[in-house]
Amino acid sequence: GRRGRVLWLVRLQIVLILVCSGGASANSDDGKASLLLEGADAGDKDVYLSHSCIHDEILHQRRRAGRKEYSVMPQVYHVPREKVERVRGRQLLGVSSWRAPRSNVKKPIRIYLNYDAVGHSPDRDCKNVGDIVKLGEPPVPSAPGTPICSPHGDPPLVGDCWYNCTFEDIAGEDKKQRLRKALGQTVEWFRKALAVEPVKGNLRLSGYSACGQDGGVQLPHAYIEDGVANADLVLLVTTRPTTGNTLAWAVACERDQWGRAIAGHVNVAPRHLTAEAETLLSATLIHEVMHVLGFDPHAFTHFRDERKRRRDQVTVQALDEKLGRMVTRVVLPRVVMHSRHHYGAFSQNFSGLELEDGGGRGTSGSHWEKRLLMNEIMTGSVDTRSVVSKMTLALLEDSGWYQANYSMAEHLDWGRNQGTEFAISPCNSWKGAYRCNTTQLSGCTYNREAEGYCPIVSYSGDLPKWAQYFPQANKGGQSSLADYCTYFVAYSDGSCTDVNSARAPDRMLGEVRGSNSRCMASTLVRTGFVRGSMTQGNGCYQHRCTNNSLEVTIVPFINYYITLH
């Protein structure tokens, strides 16, 4: 038939293991200061801008002796009429007077932004080039201006130090406009994503708020006397410098009687308020406001069940024999349910979703484990490909404070339908495109949307025992957050789907790039070309899924294809 004649004419063999799926590209994040990246020249490799979260570092700075992490201000909430009637009836019968609130009590969350403190902290805001300002709380006995912040020092010093201001650290009018636009979009996103039980009347804040301590922001007197109208959460905004690739940070500083955040402090570094960083900043602000709302191990202790009782268990920490170390997992009901559906992990061996144990004090414990969720927005590093998954929305809903709109969740490809073993086993047992072990060959990223390279790093010291996937104890992947796992990372010009950023298709391989193309390993060579010493390579080919069969176009200019079942 016609399909058989195609195979005869072009004399090819295609070697494929491909699942019909779509999604974001493979991800990479952090490395180490003292390392050597093996393989080809890094100039043609993908370098993504990313944000490193320091949420827990900021909280640690605020939990000093004599300080409080947050203050509590009780609020008055509407009581549904139906609830009042049921309460009266139960009281007459002498039974419990509590009734679970109706789901329609919750309304879209109203986040109020206060910009009064922008540029008004002389010891913390950069006004002129060469100004020396505080990051955190430098030691009191130190000489003026010391210690100086040194993000690239040995060891690096990125907090509780003095910062030397540059021109990029000054928040001019153009940067202030970008700030308002970005935060406005963030507020609108959360309005669509989360609903909350609204307060009755104005949101009232405490006169003894923790928001103003340790370089925080003093609450306006009117917020204490009169409250804030049409608000469920107030975010106090500043534009102070940060070090490294931290674009912003945010913490909750005041809670209501149920533990829900009603005030928080958001800081955005002026040097990242640029057109180039706009997309990354949008993702970063969603990430940081998630911390304020409840994605924070210190908020976990306040989580409530459907009856507003404190939850018995939010996380479970145990020694995991498979992984060879202590692991903390979130065991909340909705998180477990959505995780099971994502991974296809329906075995009883899957008990919860791991939290990050790497990244140091700024990241560990307050993010999803990057090995398992890779480009999910609540992992410890954020980039332009980060997506909000149902698991993150589920965690906020499991807090008891919010109702999540799951239609706002995005498609997370990493780990999808990979089964229980993927979710509970070390990555050196993973199969297929989720693992690579040599720098000598390129390959396809896990979702086959790009051709990539395998970054294997030689570190100056041995990796932890549980991360020693190679005979050489100092070799591993480039990301400590992803447990030093090795996986293909997309070349900057290796996309199969993005024709604008990718290199020209290889005529010898008969490549075609476009939204329907995927990366495949093959031995295809067009007539009149010679491959050379490599008998197999990777190329981008159009595909489609029809009746559970995969069809791959191999000679697009005559519209022939082969079918794999």
The predicted-structure confidence for 458-478, as pLDDT tens digits, reads as follows: 999 999 999 999 999 999 999
Q: What are the phi and psi torsion angles at 518 (to 5°)? A: -140, 155
Has 55 been labeled as part of a binding site?
A: no
pLDDT for 259 equals: 97
CA distance 259 to 400: 10
pLDDT for 535 equals: 59
Task: Look at residue 392 and tell me if it is in a domain.
Answer: no
Task: Look at residue 358 and tell me if it is in a domain.
Answer: no
Looking up tokens 């109702």 gives 403
Give, in order, the Cα–Cα distances in Å from 207 to each of 63, 118, 226, 254, 304.
19, 21, 12, 11, 26
Task: Look at residue 517 and tell me if it is in a domain.
Answer: yes
Split into its structural domains, the chain has a count of 1
Beta-bridge partners for 67: none
Q: Which residues in 429-497 belong to E strands, given as ranges?
A: 443-444, 450-453, 457-459, 475-476, 489-495
Q: Are 561 and 543 in contact (CB under 8 A)?
A: no
Task: Look at residue 201 and tell me if it is in a domain.
Answer: no
Task: Look at residue 386 and tell me if it is in a domain.
Answer: no
pLDDT for 88 equals: 47
Determine the 3-state secondary structure of 163 from DSSP.
strand
Q: Are strands 161-164 and 517-522 parallel, antiparallel or unpaired?
A: unpaired
- Token pair recorded at residue 554: 């191999």
Letter for the amino acid at 561?
Y
pLDDT tens by residue, 192-205: 999 999 999 999 99
Lowest mean pLDDT among 295-304, 363-372, 525-534: 525-534
**How does residue 369 score in pLDDT terms, banded at 50, 70 and 90?**
very high
pLDDT for 126 equals: 96
The predicted model gives 213-225 an average pLDDT of: 86
**Residue bearing the bigger pLDDT, 238 or 79:** 238
Q: Are 39 and 453 in contact (CB under 8 A)?
A: yes
pLDDT tens by residue, 241-284: 999 889 999 999 999 999 999 999 999 999 999 999 999 999 99
Has 367 been labeled as part of a binding site?
A: yes
Helical segments of 76-220, H only: 81-93, 173-193
Has 411 been labeled as part of a binding site?
A: no
Lowest mean pLDDT among 32-41, 149-158, 229-238, 523-532: 32-41
Q: What are the phi and psi torsion angles at 133 (to 5°)? A: -125, 165
**Residue from 15, 46, 23 nearest 448 by CA:** 23
pLDDT for 5 equals: 35
Q: Is the pLDDT of residue 421 over 80?
A: yes
Beta-bridge partners for 250: 266
CA atoms within 13 A on the CB side of 552: 24
Q: Are 133 and 240 in contact (CB under 8 A)?
A: yes
Q: Are 551 and 562 in contact (CB under 8 A)?
A: yes
Could you say which of 57, 254, 288, 369 is catalytic? 288
CA distance 475 to 459: 6
Task: Look at residue 56 and tell me if it is in a domain.
Answer: no
Q: Is the pLDDT of residue 33 over 80?
A: no
The mean pLDDT of the chain is: 84
Looking up tokens 């293991």 gives 17
- For the purposes of burial, counting CB atoms within 10 Å of the CB of 88, is it exposed (0-12), middle (13-18) or buried (19 or more)? exposed
Supply the range of the domain harboring residue 544: 2-45+421-564
Contacts of 39 (CB under 8 A, 6+ apart): 439, 440, 453, 454, 455, 456
pTM of the model: 0.86
Of all residues in the chain, the percent with pLDDT exceeding 90 is: 62
Q: Is 298 left (phi over 0), alpha (psi -120 to 50) or beta?
A: alpha
**How does residue 377 score in pLDDT terms, banded at 50, 70 and 90?**
very high
Task: Render the burial of 24-62: b for 16+ CB within 10 Å, e for the rest.
Answer: bbbbbbbeeeeeebeeeeeeebbebebbbbbbbbbbbbb
Task: Look at residue 76 and tell me if it is in a domain.
Answer: no
Lowest mean pLDDT among 22-26, 57-61, 80-84, 194-198: 22-26
Task: Look at residue 468 and tell me if it is in a domain.
Answer: yes
pLDDT for 537 equals: 78
Q: Are 261 and 159 in contact (CB under 8 A)?
A: no
CA distance 270 to 314: 36
Q: What is the DSSP letter of 261?
A: E
Is 288 one of the annotated active-site residues of the chain?
yes
Q: Is the pLDDT of residue 19 over 70?
A: no
